[in-house]
Structure 1
Amino acid sequence: MGQPDGGWYDETPPQVIAESPSDGATGVNSKKATLYFSEYIKIDNPTENVVVSPPQKEAPEIKNEGKKISVKLIDDLKPNTTYTIDFSNAISDNNEGNPLGNYTYTFSTGDHIDTMEVAGCVVEADNLEPVKGILVGLYDNFADSAFTTLPMLRVARTDDTGHFDIKGVRNGKYHVFALQDADNNYIFNAKSEMIAFDKTVYATTCRPDIRQDTIWRDSLHIQDIKRIPYTHFLPDNIVLRAFNEELTDRYFQKADRAEADHFSLIFTYGDSEMPRIKGLNFNADNAFIVEPSVNTDTITYWLRDSALVDQDTLNIQLQYRMTDSTGTLVPQTDTLQILSKQPYEKRLKKQQEQFDKWKKAQEKRKKKGESYQTVMPAEVLKPDYNIGSTINPDQTPTIYMPKPLARMDTAKIHLYEKIDTTWTPIPFQIGEDPSRPRTYRLIGEWRPGRQYSLETDSMAFTDIYGHVSAADKQGFRVPEEDEYNTLPVNITGFDGKHIVVRLLDQSGKTIKEQASDNSQVVFQWIKPGTYYMSMFVDDNRNGRWDTGDYKANRQPEALYYYDDKIERKAKWDDVVTWNPTAKPLNQQKPSRLVKTKSTAQKKIKNRNAERAKSLGIPYIPGQTGVTEKK
């Protein structure tokens, strides 16, 4: 006795049995096409996955109707033009989801079909991540203004791996561009759009070639190897580096007062001139401690007076410079009402709750005959000591203050080194990091194999509201020298270039960085482990990677990845030699560091092989009946 299981699975992809007009038809003057299939089918997200070329201003109507797909173009047909409707991997059968595979329907309004193809990939210029879903298009007009005034001639969209294949191309010479087209006009007209441009002139060509197709019976055994002739279209290895231009237009975005004691003014871009504030319901003279960000696009104002902190609404007149329609900075005056997200009444209630909780605890201690407090302790300043239990000899510990300091008493800060068995005072320096507000750097001589103790007396730090720090002690050590290794790196092919080389951990985070003018760097004090490496050419020597600018014809600074992991053990000092241009950019970034993971590709599930195995019978690909077990 048993229960029927439905028999063999359908593993046959849908087949195209007819097209109207037929695929490859010439002299077509109809804007409608119908594709007929051998079974019921479905289309996965045609808006994103189906690309019509040449690009259409009005989105075409693509409908799935049982065993057919109807396509209606809204734009007028262009004369003597090859049209391609690239369905990619979007078509599958309705029941089992067996994909048809890469399918492109082609017709021409002229007397022939253009058959050339242009292929390659797009990566992000600043990290070599593949760019999914960006448009890639061709221009035969080589003027710089073409990209900003004319729509692309033919387009394709990149897949999960950043790969693109532009089909139906007329034999000729082209520029290749990529565009994250926000307004669907196939023109670069907004600085917020990601772009890539290549001034190389690519000539289309093709040649006969052979590819090897391997059919696997299972993951370990090859069933068949075939050498299949095909037409190899070139170029097929273009690599475009996509980037977003720096948004230099300056506008005021918002005022934010997340906490009562400070507020921030946020702009889209910085300015060498600081805004001017006039208080409308308070006196703004000497009312603030001002903390601008490094590029002055965010400016934080700390309120000095506690009475002003308790004021829920601050009305101000803000004078600043903004970008007008010509791109020029002009004076602008706004009136703002800045509201505290922590109203005074709510803060009073919270303080009362804290007092009641403290009082209850003291009364409980009193009843038990334990020591208790009669006055609630004042709020203390709590510095954040960014000092681990171990540090490297080249490391700089930091201390972060939650609020601006009014005073730092260095006489109450002590640094000790354990020499033999004696804790000995040693010299140090402490000062604010100019690039990070309220962050103080502790600079000392850290020797391998030594222990240290940073000790602060009470009242070493006092903030602008009178809160003082409590006594604190931070102990740390520096490992022995033989617990480290040294990593010398020789880089070939970049003589005369100013480069910045970064050592990365297994998450891709930069842990060390060095600049060089002679293509050699040495990373010292490296702990045993697995590392990765990247570098960029610092053309303007500003110490950071810079994006590109199309109008200025400036490409983003070149960035590369060492294409393998780097294993290091203690006391190693062997040299790593690296040629950053030995591999194409899209093949450099190690897979562990790639954040943009490919989604599962549609494929036949091959469940009949599993079923045959469970039944203990031979599996014959394509079988539709049961073979008896012998």
Structure 2
Amino acid sequence: MKALNIRLPLFEIASFFAMTLILVSCAQIVPLTGGDKDVNAPKEVESTPINGATNFTETTIVVEFDEFIKLNNLSNQLITSPLMETTPEIVVKGKKLVIKIESELSENTTYSLNFGNAISDITENNDTNYKYVFSTGSYIDSLSYSGRVVNSFDLKPQEKIYVLLYDQFEDSVPLKERPRYVALTDKEGVFSITNIAKGEYKFFAINDINSNYLFDLPNEEIAFKSETIQIDSASTDNVIYLFEEESGLQFLDKAENKEYGKIDIVLNRPTENLIITPLNQHFKKAWYIQDKNDTGDSLTLWLLVQDAFDNLDIEIKDGDNVIDTANVQIMQSEDFNDTTLQVSTNANGSFDLNQNINIKMVRPSTLEKNGNILLYEDSVLVQNAICNPIELTKFELAYDFKENTEYDLFILPGTFEDILGLKNDTLHSKFKTKKESDYGIINLTVTPNFSENYIIELYKKDKLIKKSFLQDSADIKYNYLLPGEYKMKLIIDGNNDQQWNTGNYIKGLQPEKVIFYEKEIKIRANWDNDISWIIKE
């Protein structure tokens, strides 16, 4: 067969290859992006009856949104104000929210159904802060009352607190009656009660633990206005101080023996005259040493009688008042492996000026040999360092330390002996004091606009550095402050007991007022900070 001899023009060949490249390029696979991410919250398109309807008589409300929706945590988000006897039944049907009202509504009343963040789209969970309002009368009430709820002691914002308005004025209303208007605080403590009728109200805020809109549990926190409030215009920027009342009921939280020879007892509040009585044992001599904490609500019993019993029943009293009884299982000596007394000290590494050396034991101890504590300053033995007990388990070695100086501390064997007869082993600690220039100073002048005594507390982070009890204008100098951020807190000490006191609703007592300095104070090394704090209560 004769071969075909086909000749194409050069132009046609070039065109063929160009078309092939175009087709290959068009056939490349490109990942699908799905378009721009939906960041928009659902929007109301229409509602029946309309949002803001007056002369409302319906039992069903239908709200249509511009996209498919779902409900999230509705029971904790929905607030109806005023409250209804029965919570409305609410369901979602595609893009529609159907609300069925099952309570009899009051005449000439504006209702608001606040959904919080309960309504979101079904794809990206974009939520909408939606509210539906209607009135059974001829107009919509439009007044509002808003502000922020904070903890009365540390002024931190309080979330999920119910803010309540009552149109009844008996002192018992928060204990027995449901409020007229309700709002819920957000994570910043912010609240807003809207669509309020003009009038006079009692104001409360509660941490409603059992969700019944009543102040009826001893551990529920409360805030209240001492006087009724008159609402005849929008009221904003109200700061509400929440507190927990001091419980009148004294009870035992725990009594346990987790360490050999040591019973820990924790109470819910301080005692004045604590008495511990054994019920199933009889002791002819002292059987414990008591070590109470600073606040008086917990204590340690260091047992002086060992291995004589494996359980102990005790009665705990505050004076003549029996608080509780407890059974404590007692650890035996076979569970105890210590052979020496453990001793520790704060004299390590870089040592702060303006302090003494603390020597800490794990059990109450006595100083057997004072001469066995040796302190060397630049290798020279110090002769005038004095060691004294400051707690049952702590001693203090007092000395006027020099700056930027090396020290050696030796505690020789047998210097301390605990109540079990155990003695310490050798402890050697090397440390060097800081320089004066490592610290900053605060020179504070306080000018109050009140006559009561007050307390100034200086904190570094959450650690209390110094507490001062003052009256009228005062000057304070804070030395030896390490670099960092500090804050100052003032407590108006209304009853002059040198501590902060909580409030009590029935007694009409507000918590003692707390004021923080306007900003954190930045301390730098070798730097003085002059601060004039003019209090504007």
TM class by shorter chain equals 0.7 to 0.9
The answer for the alignment partner of 1:255 in structure 2 is 255
1:264 match: secondary structure: strand
Q: Is the 8 A contact 2:61 2:100 kept in 1?
A: yes
Aligned pairs (5 A) from 1:124-523: 124-206=151-233, 234-280=234-280, 283=283, 285-308=285-308, 311=309, 313-318=310-315, 320=317, 330-331=321-322, 334=325, 336-340=326-330, 347=335, 379-405=339-365, 407-409=366-368, 411-414=370-373, 416=375, 418=377, 422-433=380-391, 438-494=393-449, 496-505=451-460, 507-517=461-471, 518-523=473-478
SS at match of 1:119: strand
Structure 1 position 23, deviation (Å)? 1.7
Q: 1:317 to 1:534 in 2, by over 3 A?
A: closer
Quote how far apart the aligned CAs of 1:17 are: 2.6
Shift of 1:535: 2.4
Aligned to 1:527: 482
> Does the C-alpha gap of structure 1 residues 79 and 183 become closer, same or farther in structure 2, counting only changes over 3 Å?
farther
CA RMSD of aligned residues (A): 2.9
- Letter of the 2:313 partner, please give it: I
Shift, 1:29, TM fit: 4.0
Matched residue type, 2:317? Y
- Paired residue type of 2:388: I
**Which AA in structure 2 matches 1:120?**
G
Structure 2 equivalent of residue 623 of structure 1: none
Aligned positions, number:
508
Greater mean deviation of Cα atoms: 42-51 or 452-461: 452-461
Query: C-alpha separation between the residues in 2 aligned to 1:28 and 1:495?
Result: 52
Specify the structure having the higher radius of gyration (Cα).
2
The 1:139–1:431 alpha-carbon spacing in structure 2 relative to 1, beyond 3 Å, is: same
Q: Which residue of 2 aligns with 1:625?
A: none
| CA distance 1:144–1:387, change in 2 (3 Å) | farther
Deviation track 1:125-174 (CA, whole Å, cap 9, x = no partner) reads: 11111111101111344443333333222011011111001011111233
Distance change >3 Å, CA 415–CA 543, structure 1 → 2: farther
Provide the rounded CA distance (Å) in 2 between the counterparts of 1:86 and 1:40.
20
TM-score (norm 2): 0.85
Does the CA contact (< 8 Å) of 2:140 and 2:195 recur in 1?
Answer: yes
Residue 263 of structure 2 contacts residue 302 of structure 2 at CA under 8 Å; is this kept in 1?
yes
The alignment status of 1:19 with 2:47, answered yes or no, reads yes
Structure 2 CA distance for aligned equivalents of residues 536 and 22 of structure 1: 51
Deviations 1:3-57 (A, max 9, x none): 3433344444322233333322233345543322232102221122221112346
1: CA distance, partners of 2:204 / 2:290 = 44
1:278/1:67 Cα in 2 relative to 1: closer, same or farther (>3 Å)? same
Change in CA separation of 1:55 and 1:343 when aligned onto 2, cut-off 3 Å? farther
What SS does structure 2 have at the residue aligned with 1:412?
Answer: helix
Residue pair 1:55, 1:186 contacting (<8 A) in 2 also: no
The residue that corresponds to 1:91 in the other structure is 119
Match of 2:499 among 538, 541, 544: 544
Q: SS of 2:509's equivalent? A: coil
Q: Which structure shows the higher strand fraction?
A: 2
Q: Which residue of 1 aligns with 2:70?
A: 42
Q: Secondary structure at the match of 1:237?
A: strand
- Cα shift at 1:551: 2.2
Instruction: Give, as a single letter, the amino acid of the residue that structure 2 aligns with 1:516.
Output: L
1:571 aligns with 2:526: yes
Query: For residues 278 and 569 of structure 1, do their structure 2 counterparts lie closer, same or farther at Cα, with a shift above 3 Å needed?
Result: closer
Matching residue of 2:19: none
Mapped partners of 2:296, 2:487: distance in 1: 33
1:319 to partner: Cα distance: 5.5
* CA–CA distance in structure 1, aligned partners of residues 380 and 323 of structure 2: 63
- 1:82 is aligned, of 93, 99, 110, to 110
Q: Distance in 1 between matches of 2:47 and 2:284?
A: 75
Deviation digits for residues 359-401 of structure 1 (CA, Å, limit 9, x no counterpart): xxxxxxxxxxxxxxxxxxx711012213343344432442322
CA distance in 1, matches of 2:232, 2:29: 62
Distance in 2 (CA, whole Å) between partners of 1:251 and 1:164 is 36
Paired AA for residue 464 in structure 1: I
11 and 452 in structure 1: CA distance in 2 versus 1, 3 angstrom threshold: closer
Bigger relative contact order (CA 8 A; separation at least 6): 1
Give the SS at the match of 2:382.
Answer: strand
Q: 3-state SS of the aligned residue for 2:75?
A: helix
Q: Counterpart amino acid of 1:535?
A: L
The question of whether the paired residues in 1 share the 8 Å contact of 2:251 and 2:323 is answered with no
Question: Which one-letter code corresponds to 1:424 in the other structure?
Answer: V
Inter-partner Cα distance in structure 2 for 1:113 and 1:183: 32
The amino acid that maps onto 1:196 is: A
Flag structure 2 segments of 5+ consecutive residues without an equivalent: 1-27
* AA in 1 matched with 2:177: L
> 1:73 & 1:200 partners in 2: Cα distance?
35
Contact kept in structure 2, 1:417 and 1:423, CA below 8 Å: yes
TM-superposed deviation, 1:508: 3.5
Contact 1:417 1:426 in 2 (8 A): no
AA aligned to 1:458 is: P
How far does residue 427 in structure 1 lie from its aligned partner after superposition?
Answer: 3.5
Partners of 1:131 and 1:161 within 8 A in 2: yes
Corresponding residue for residue 216 of structure 1: none
Secondary structure of 1:160's match?
A: coil
State the shift of 1:462 in Å: 0.7
Q: 1:201 and 1:484 mapped to 2: Cα distance?
A: 51
